[in-house]
Structure 1
Amino acid sequence: MNYESTIPSEDIAIADDAEARSSTRKRLIIAAAVVTLLLLAYIGYNYFVGAGAEDDTASQAPAVTVMAPGKQLVTRTINATGTLAARREIPVSVVGEGGRVTNVYVDAGDWVKQGQVMASIDRSVQSQQAAGLEASVGASRADLNLAQANLDRAAQLVDRGFISKADIDRLTATRDSAAARLRVAQAQLNETRARNTRLDIVAPKAGFVLERNVEPGQTVTQGSGTLFLLAQDGEMELQARLGESDLANVSVGITAQVTPVGTTKELTGQIWQIAPVIDPQSRQGIARIALGYDSALRPGGFASARIRSGTSEVSVLPESALQNDSKGSFVYIVGPDNKAVRRDVVLGSVSDAGISITSGLSGNEKVVLRAGGFLSPGETVQPKLQKKADGA
């Protein structure tokens, strides 16, 4: 007997559908795994390749030497130039009536004492006038002596009745008149002698002769101008020109080192006067630096001065670290990200240690010492720290 078993068609369809769904699920899982692997590979590639590119960029960045300048106490020095001159100039000219010069006893470059005769003027006529006045004084004195003798004799005869009181009064008046004439003659003689003395050109003060403008045979009068020019006691000065800001930082008594142009000699002076006004054209004032006599100092010449105007705590940089453009002075500093950053600064005085920075730096920055002219803001660099600048 044969048995034939049959499977319903619905069951077969259900089984085929489950198998299809299982196959689809597997394909989705495999696809997701492939995508995940591709994504991880892409991220890994970018990470390692990008890091290598950054390393390569860093390796190609320029190496620069930097320093942290800090702060130090420096002497503020003001540099100035100016004209040399006599501290006290004394022009010497004709005091009296003048005349023909007979002798000149000094020349430019000589030293003279107070009252020393520098030049003499012909006084032949004045001498004769003085002689005539001396004779007049003698005659007046003789008249006075005679009048006094007559009065004395008359006074002895009054008591005897030979001379009246009127005669005594007349003789007394004659004596007084003779005394007055003598005083007048003596005064005229003294005046003439004083005038004759003033004919000589004498030094009013001791000093150094800067100029001589008279020669023997020359006729001079009170309108002849300056015959000699003296520097009182030989003292000189430098009339140093300073800007308004520098002038505000100096005071009377500050020392200065002065070097005349054309020499290597350095002379020590002291500011003795500061101009109370500023030139409206140049915006400068004058600080007058007193100097003792030295052969290197020639009035009218130029000289440079270094004026020490106190101390201050500032950063000091070598000249190689400083840059300039139309906006002013600046330096490059290196930030934490090794990027070059421009920093504007205000320059102060110059010393052997370098140039002081009065504003713009705290002293803790990393300042590029060299090659700043080849950098641009934001550029990546490789900083090499140096505690002190070369030559500092």
Structure 2
Amino acid sequence: MNYEAGNLQGDTLVLEAPDDGGARRRRRMLIIAVVVIAAIAAAAWFFTRGDDAAPKGAASDQAPSVTVVVPGRAAVDREITATGTLAARREMPVGVAGEGGMVTRVLVEPGQWVRAGQVLATVDRSVQTQTAESLSAQVTVARADLTLAQAELDRAQQLVGRGFISQADVQRRIATRDAAAARVKVSQATASEQRARNGRLDIRAPAAGLVLTRQVEPGQIISSASGTLFRMAKGGEMEMRAQLAESDLVTLRSGARAKVTPVGDSRSFDGQVWQVSPVIDPATRQGIARIALSYDAALRPGGFASANIVGGTANVPELPQSAIMSDDKGNFVYVADQGNVVRRRDIRLGTVSDTSVAVASGLEGNERVVVSAGAFLNPGQKIAPVMAKAAVANSGG
């Protein structure tokens, strides 16, 4: 056993054992240093290894989950919205057919239905009546002359065989009889002409229909230069003359269904396009589609109206209304690109129904379109897309 020299206390020599406490302290310090170094190494390893993964995880945790849909393409009615004026489908201006004169009575008012040939107004015919009676008397005189000439001819033919009258006298009497017969026909034709003239003094409806306007009053002097006295709608049939852009007229055909809404009326009236303008106004680049309508008191010629025309079908994308947004630049949707970043896509709307909106242009149908929450997104923002079925999206799910 080794002993260390100790202190000499008095006369006694004290021996001391080795100091074990210092060694233990050194061991503890060594262990602590190793632990600290290991902790530092572990922290360094963690941070250096996680540099690339941390942003991805953080971005993934921050990207909002947004429902998107691939709309595809479907056959939908192509609806055209237009405005225009109401008018009679076949408007008939009624004026003076005869020589005219002073109007004695006006028998109809605007808004009244009349039949074909019905008298609308009468004209004084006192002078014309006397002329007609004179011509009728001339017919009577001509017939009497014919009767006398025929009787003389009959007697001459009876006497010619007995030698009392020559054949030449008979021929003269035949000529006299034929001339009398001709005078009868002339006088009859003249009298008939006068009666026809008298009949044309009355202003008559050329066909059954509805009186639209009246521009004549009793006491007024009228003639063939007086112009239109009445305007009528033949059969009461109405129409809307819709102004359409050149691009809309290209696909529009006769027979297309339409709904017409007059200004100031909440009702819509069913109609049908019966004529599409064959020409385009070079100034406005527009043409007219004429929509036939049945009579209704609310359809007043000259009034303004709007129309929704179904101009055939088209294969276009359909989206729920929640996907459509608009601003001062127009309508648009948000589309998620390959990197799940939303991009603005300007669109033009087609037919709008209660549940969906057809996109006339701007989408192909294979894009991932944000169904809702678009108002809370910004272009360039990253999202976590959640795919929805087109049928569910179109139904508002």
Aligned counterpart, 1:123:
125
Aligned counterpart, 1:254:
256
Could you give the per-residue CA deviations for residues 100-158 of structure 1, whole angstroms, max 9, x where no partner exists? Answer: 11111111111111111111111110000011111111111111111221222222222
Change (3 A) 1:42 1:341: farther
What residue ranges of structure 1 are gaps of 5+ in the alignment? Answer: 1-34
Q: CA deviation at 1:311?
A: 2.9
Work out whether residues 77 and 351 of structure 1, in 8 Å CA contact, stay in contact via their aligned partners in 2: no
Pairing partner for 1:269 from 268, 271, 290: 271
Higher mean C-alpha deviation, range 222-231 or range 322-331: 322-331
Aligned counterpart, 1:349:
351
Higher mean C-alpha deviation, range 147-156 or range 35-44: 35-44
Letter in structure 2 aligned against 1:45: F
Aligned counterpart, 2:102:
100
Work out whether residues 82 and 243 of structure 2, in 8 Å CA contact, stay in contact via their aligned partners in 1: yes
Aligned counterpart, 1:165:
167
Aligned counterpart, 1:177:
179
Map of 1:45-124 to 2, 5 A cutoff? 45-48=47-50, 51-52=53-54, 54-61=56-63, 64-124=66-126
Aligned counterpart, 1:190:
192
Could you give the per-residue CA deviations for residues 175-228 of structure 1, whole angstroms, max 9, x where no partner exists? Answer: 222222222211111110110011111111111111111111111100111111
- For residue 83 of structure 2, give the secondary structure of its aligned residue in structure 1: strand
Aligned counterpart, 2:26:
none
Higher mean C-alpha deviation, range 283-292 or range 172-181: 172-181
Q: CA deviation at 1:263?
A: 1.4
Work out whether residues 113 and 206 of structure 1, in 8 Å CA contact, stay in contact via their aligned partners in 2: yes
Could you give the per-residue CA deviations for residues 31-79 of structure 1, whole angstroms, max 9, x where no partner exists? Answer: xxxx999898545324446655554455444564433434444222222
Aligned counterpart, 1:337:
339
Match status 1:152 vs 2:154: yes
| Counterpart Cα distance in 2 of 1:235 and 1:389 | 40
- For residue 266 of structure 2, give the secondary structure of its aligned residue in structure 1: coil
Match status 1:134 vs 2:136: yes
Q: CA deviation at 1:331?
A: 2.2
Could you give the per-residue CA deviations for residues 269-327 of structure 1, whole angstroms, max 9, x where no partner exists? Answer: 11111100111122111111111111111111122222222333432224443356788
- For residue 289 of structure 2, give the secondary structure of its aligned residue in structure 1: strand
| Counterpart Cα distance in 2 of 1:335 and 1:213 | 69
TM score, norm. by length of structure 2: 0.81
Change (3 A) 1:181 1:361: closer
Work out whether residues 241 and 284 of structure 1, in 8 Å CA contact, stay in contact via their aligned partners in 2: yes
- For residue 279 of structure 2, give the secondary structure of its aligned residue in structure 1: coil
Aligned counterpart, 2:244:
242
Pairing partner for 2:393 from 385, 388, 391: 388
Aligned counterpart, 1:281:
283
Match status 1:312 vs 2:314: yes
| Counterpart Cα distance in 1 of 2:39 and 2:214 | 108
Higher mean C-alpha deviation, range 238-247 or range 127-136: 238-247
Higher mean C-alpha deviation, range 310-319 or range 171-180: 310-319
| Counterpart Cα distance in 1 of 2:137 and 2:386 | 103
| Counterpart Cα distance in 2 of 1:361 and 1:204 | 56
| Counterpart Cα distance in 2 of 1:55 and 1:115 | 90
- For residue 388 of structure 1, give the secondary structure of its aligned residue in structure 2: helix
Q: CA deviation at 1:235?
A: 0.8
Aligned counterpart, 1:6:
none
Q: CA deviation at 1:362?
A: 4.5
| Counterpart Cα distance in 2 of 1:152 and 1:236 | 67
Change (3 A) 1:125 1:351: same
TM score, norm. by length of structure 1: 0.82
Could you give the per-residue CA deviations for residues 244-289 of structure 1, whole angstroms, max 9, x where no partner exists? Answer: 2221222111221222221122221111111001111221111111
| Counterpart Cα distance in 1 of 2:68 and 2:311 | 31
Aligned counterpart, 2:222:
220
Letter in structure 2 aligned against 1:197: G
| Counterpart Cα distance in 2 of 1:74 and 1:183 | 72
Work out whether residues 318 and 394 of structure 2, in 8 Å CA contact, stay in contact via their aligned partners in 1: no
Letter in structure 2 aligned against 1:257: K
| Counterpart Cα distance in 1 of 2:374 and 2:127 | 85
Higher mean C-alpha deviation, range 114-123 or range 53-62: 53-62
Work out whether residues 67 and 389 of structure 1, in 8 Å CA contact, stay in contact via their aligned partners in 2: no
| Counterpart Cα distance in 1 of 2:361 and 2:93 | 49
Work out whether residues 158 and 164 of structure 1, in 8 Å CA contact, stay in contact via their aligned partners in 2: yes
Q: CA deviation at 1:355?
A: 2.1
Could you give the per-residue CA deviations for residues 335-355 of structure 1, whole angstroms, max 9, x where no partner exists? Answer: 353322233444332222332
Letter in structure 2 aligned against 1:162: F
Change (3 A) 1:298 1:312: same
